[in-house]
Amino acid sequence: MLLKEYAKNKKTCTVTFTLLGAAAPGAKRITLVGDFNNWNKDSTPLKRGKEGEWSVTLNLEAGHEYLFRYLIDGERWENDWNADKYVPSPYGDADNSVVIV
């Protein structure tokens, strides 16, 4: 799930990325990996919420599309079930999630 809040100047957008617990049952660690962090598998960990969901908030430059995925326990990739759109990944037969800001 993506929650977007634009700055008054419309140059940046605060985006909260949330992965529901149902998408990652039993997960110990989830990271957000994408264009905004050079696909670094460790730089953007999500925090677990009281209801079992995982989330992280980033400030992104508006006027762009960013590809991303969630990495669960360093082994399994998951898309955002409510991404703005999906595009084919250059690796394998999977898609990448896209957030448009």
Do the beta carbons of residue 15 and residue 7 sit within 8 Å? no
Contacts of 27 (CB under 8 A, 6+ apart): 21, 54, 72, 73
pLDDT in tens, the chain (101 residues): 899 999 999 999 999 999 999 999 999 999 999 999 999 999 999 999 999 999 999 999 999 999 999 999 999 999 999 999 999 998 878 899 999 99
Q: Which residues pair with 87 in a beta bridge?
A: 96
For the chain, list the domains and their CATH numbers: 2-100 (2.60.40.10)
Give the whole-angstrom CA distance, residue 101 versus residue 86. 15
Distance of alpha carbon 10 from alpha carbon 99, whole angstroms: 16
